[in-house]
Structure 1
Amino acid sequence: MASTLFDTSKGLVEYSYIGDGPVLLLLKGGHCTRDTDLSHNSLVYEGYSLLTISRPGYDCTEVSTGRTPEEFANTIIEVLDHLKIDQVTVIAISAAGPTGVALAANHHQRVNKLIMEAALLSPWDNKTLTQARFLFGRGEKAVWKGIRTLLKVSPNLAIKQVMSSLTTDPVEDYLNKLSPNDRRFIYDMLWSSQSGKGFLLDITHNAANMSQIKAPVLGMYTQKDRSVDYSNAVLLQSTVPNCEIYEVKSDSHLIWIGENAANVWRKRLDFITQ
């Protein structure tokens, strides 16, 4: 998908903009790059435009465009103004949760709906922070090169190592239930991943001012997510005035694959169109 660079008042932002119809703004999660598609690109075939904005530190979006979710939310408004887009439905995935919240809470007139997909709201725990700084600091390029090498040599082992941190099920049981298409999804996701400088920013983010959100919110979470605990769903529902939680019957953080994936797709479309 072709990307465009826009020079905002705070630095360069990379985005792609495809399709016709009402605009959906996609904010991808941690480690996701311009090439990572968690199935959302297919939304253009449902009659929507898809605006995907790379968050600070990812792809060619500069860190200066927003070290905090609130700062980057302001930068996103510059992009919307540049593209002459009045309102968007925001889809915030995983570590993009705080940015989705900041956009909806601080720019009511620009967000008509907010969808939080396995989206983090609470602070990262100390163990995760320590591991993230070690793995995805200066050595992050080597880490991802190693993962891609392992994907070539032993894809099952690479998938097993990563999924052990994304599911509460015994990882062998989880892997045994994966379809060939599910395995391809995970393979492609890992192959396209790169943390850049973005993930070290992500781990400093918290979702603030959730009670100020006026737009309807849909949160989609699973009880079996090891990386984003279901307590995030409870927090979202208890804080946001107009919020619906859809409990996904997924076996991992990756709610876009598995037997319930079609229900996730339908639930998202129903919420967007209602």
Structure 2
Amino acid sequence: MAQTCGFVAIVGRPNVGKSTLMNRILGQKISITSRRPQTTRHQVMGIKTLQESQAIYVDTPGIHIMGKDRNRAINRVMNHSATQALRDIDCVVFLIDRTRWTDEDQIVLDKLVHVKVPVILAINKVDRVQDKATLLPWLEQLAAKREFAAMVPLSAKHGTNVAELEEEVAKRLPESIHYFPEEQITDRSERFLAAELVREKITRQLGDELPYQMTVEIETFRDEGRIIHIDALVLVERQGQKKILIGENGERIKQIGRDARLEMERALGAKVMLNLWVKIKRGWSDDSRALKSLGYDLD
């Protein structure tokens, strides 16, 4: 049997479950998740190798409408990153949320007009649809929007029909040697993962209080075998944002540190000594040079 290998872009508006879907496919956390829209800010690659088939999934930031409050350099970078993922790929998984169709879903669909590769529509969170009888007519409405290679209702959270989606993807991968070793599951470094896990815990801890202009920079990542020493900076733009993150008597930042450290130990398989600091870096989210220095892909 010939080997197959290809790149699969997972696209959709913010908060439809793209990162949850990729983590489910890979069987472990590679992309961070939260209920907050636009948690994913970078392209993250997840590699799934099964015998002769290798699917390289690319989790992307949610494609969103650029309003006045979002028209900052970081938002332009995220939209650009998601759009760039549609180049040089072999298949697209377009993820939507149940029976909801928004203007941002339409924007994603419009971006797929010129895509020449198969587009699979995945309807996520169907476990939360109360009246299952509404699904069939909804699928018929979706089928009229464009010619999809396949349509798969699923639940990324619970794993329902995710294997069926993987089968549809596998059918559409071209014959090719595998680009990555069988045991590799991502192109991202442990240092990147550590920064993302801190950002995830901040996002989950703060919820609606979260300063949008917040990012995490790893200053030190020193692996001593059984212990990994990590120093991380949480960057915000204003004093008020710093105060929110630290919390009363520093309790909030301590809890964030504890949660992040435990998650890192599970992910990295070693004891982690984590130090967190909060620092003000004014205007970083609207400064292309600062974004590039913080690891945001501007190319």
What TM-score, normalized by structure 2, do the two folds share?
0.33
User: Greater strand percent: which structure?
Assistant: 2
Structure 1 or 2, whichever has the larger Rg, is 2
* Greater helix fraction, Structure 1 or Structure 2: 1
The TM-score normalised by the length of structure 1 is: 0.36
